[in-house]
Structure 1
Amino acid sequence: MGTGPVSSEAQRARIGVFYALAAFFMWGLAVPLHFKLVSAVPALQILAHRIVWASVFALGLILAGRQWRKLVEALTSGRRLLLLCLSAGLIAINWLIYIWAVNSGHLVQTSLGYFINPLLNVVLGVLFLRERLNPAQVAACVIAALGVLVLAISSGEMPWVALALASSFGFYGLVRKIVPVAPLIGFCVESLLLTPLALGYLAFVVANGQSVAFRGDLRLDALLVLTGLSTALPLIWFAAAAQRLKLSTIGLLQYLAPSGQLALGVLVYEEAFGWIDGLAFSLIWIALGVYTASALRSPSPARKPVEAG
């Protein structure tokens, strides 16, 4: 007696964990492997195909779910549309850098970028949303900054790929946090806003004989079409998980994605990873541990979840 609501909540949480694991598995392993399979295609062409096919897939989901009125509302709302234009530009930059980095042998840096991202979100919250940091969060940010500094000193330059990924996705999350629109609707609007540019670029490369796609390689063509699926599915699964799980649980599970990218880069593609890299990543992991422990001890008010790229 009286166990019904508890059982229902437990079932809801289990389903949420399943969705979260599916999303982070795709972001950490399936998506970078997918892009590696189309590495013969220039990054800008992959990005254009990703935008176009993601738009087609998202539109199909919206029509199937009879949410087209919400889509029209988002497209005709001036302030929301302006903010979604900004978020669309930021996510396009993030996608382009990510695709180029994966296919140029920088998976380790992409993982670093997404390890840094949660801590950068904390800083952006302080700077733009007037959120306050507790001492543990300040310590976490300082330790993470030391990790980045170690990499910069050891390599003689800043880890620009990691910082560009973290900052573009961090600002994307900041914009999406203040836009009152459902995840799927927002993603579809962003994709639709970028689609004319993507189609224009694809038409240009076709006219100039530079297009790699649809020239007889059916396997490559199918992989490019499927970039829409591999883009939209984890975002939808993540949104489904965020509706069912505590923010602290999502925060812990989200580190699976960059962990997968790091493992792929080092173990599968044999990217360089010396003791200096180990030291820098150790500092980042310590920072994340401090931050996560602080969040679990004194959970902050629920925040709107942000889709990952």
Structure 2
Amino acid sequence: MSDTALQQRPNSSGSVILPGLLPAIGAYGIWSLFPLYFALLHAVSPFEVVGWRLMCTLPICLVAVAALRQGAALRAALTDRRLLGALTLSGFLIGANWLIYILAVMHGHVLAASLGYYINPLVNVLAATIFLKEKLTGRQWIAVALAAIGVALLAKGALDTLWLSMALALTFAAYGLTRKLAPVDPLPGLTIETIVLFVPALGLMGWQLQRPEGLVMGSAPGISLLLLCTGPLTAIPLMLFASAARKLPFSILGFVQFLTPTVLFLISVFVFDEPIKPVHFVCFGFIWTAIAVFCWDIVSRRAAR
């Protein structure tokens, strides 16, 4: 599987960057607004939110498979043992990431979530050079170093929740790498991931049902509608991300991800009133300088070609 995936891996020419960049920006843009959505579900247990999110995503995927006539691709993926194993792994990775993220946001740790997604691009770059043999230019290494300094400064002031940030960063980086190496289209791949997670979702809902607070679904029309909408809100950005992961070099995909934690940081400060410190401004200076250097390198090399 990995040989086929590596043969399909795009190079960094300008002809493939834009088609992959647009779905990446779309996915990260949607994800960056999730704290506002989950804040509306503050009365619901995080475990129930994750359970309904998993269960409501599968019908959306199956309807999309039927509408787009991708049943043959889905059946082919289900009969490929190596591919099925990879998608099972990616399913559990993204499920763990969802659970950690929702627990963090609904318990008021939006800054910790933001830091996790600041760390993730650096993990992506490291994974790209080690596992995918992607070569970074000198300017790109400078950008990585600048971003690492900024993230290190931010992490120093959040040591008590650093484990949460690292868990988010590592699970999502591993998910992205697994999906990049899996030679499957976004929709069939996501459908299999949600099939894999459906049984654990039922177990999670059954466990929540035994808790004193029980299930909130059905108690209020507005809350019930918000829980049902977690399905399409999960499926759409994940399909966009899977498409971007197949088209973009993994290192570039990682740098685009700085969009999400930046918006998360702004939401945590201006919406959730989490305290801001001078080190945050220094951190942003390093990170955005790194992004500018990275973009400058891509544009200059494209112009040279």
Give the TM-score, by structure 1 length: 0.80
**Structure 2: runs of 5 or more not aligned:** 1-16
- Give the drift of 1:130: 2.3
Q: Distance in 2 between matches of 1:251 and 1:127?
A: 14
- Give the drift of 1:162: 2.8
CA contact (8 A) 2:38 2:106 kept: yes
Which residue is 1:168 aligned to? 171
Distance change (3 Å), C-alpha of 1:33 and 1:242 = same
Q: Map 1:205-224; keep pairs closer than 5 Å.
A: 205-208=208-211, 210-224=213-227
CA contact (8 A) 2:104 2:113 kept: yes
Secondary structure class of the residue paired with 1:212: coil
- Give the drift of 1:262: 1.9
**Structure 1 position 105 matched with structure 2 position 108:** yes
Q: Distance in 2 between matches of 1:24 and 1:125?
A: 19
- Give the drift of 1:217: 1.6
Which residue is 2:77 aligned to? 74
- Percent sequence identity over aligned pairs: 37
**Structure 1 position 28 matched with structure 2 position 40:** no
**Structure 1 position 86 matched with structure 2 position 89:** yes
Which residue is 2:7 aligned to? none
- Give the drift of 1:268: 1.0
Which letter does structure 2 place at the counterpart of 1:152? A
Distance change (3 Å), C-alpha of 1:154 and 1:262 = closer
Q: Distance in 1 between matches of 2:253 and 2:94?
A: 21
Partner deviation per Cα, 1:89-120 (whole Å, 9 max, x = no partner) = 11111111211122122223323333333332
Q: Distance in 2 between matches of 1:101 and 1:190?
A: 23
Match of 1:265 among 265, 268, 273: 268
Q: Distance in 2 between matches of 1:171 and 1:88?
A: 11
Partner deviation per Cα, 1:190-232 (whole Å, 9 max, x = no partner) = 1110111101221232245543323522221111111111111
Which residue is 2:183 aligned to? 180
Q: Map 1:1-309; keep pairs closer than 5 Å.
A: 22-29=26-33, 31-157=34-160, 159-208=162-211, 210-237=213-240, 254-298=257-301
CA contact (8 A) 2:121 2:255 kept: no
Distance change (3 Å), C-alpha of 1:143 and 1:229 = same
Q: Distance in 1 between matches of 2:297 and 2:119?
A: 17
Distance change (3 Å), C-alpha of 1:15 and 1:284 = closer
Which letter does structure 1 place at the counterpart of 2:99? L
Give the TM-score, by structure 2 length: 0.81
- Give the drift of 1:126: 1.3
Aligned residue pairs total 286
- Give the drift of 1:34: 1.4
Distance change (3 Å), C-alpha of 1:152 and 1:33 = closer
Distance change (3 Å), C-alpha of 1:209 and 1:65 = farther
CA contact (8 A) 1:151 1:280 kept: yes
Distance change (3 Å), C-alpha of 1:190 and 1:216 = same
Q: Single out whichever of 13-22 and 69-78 deviates more from structure 2.
A: 13-22
Distance change (3 Å), C-alpha of 1:112 and 1:52 = same
**Structure 1: runs of 5 or more not aligned:** 1-12, 300-309
Distance change (3 Å), C-alpha of 1:254 and 1:136 = same
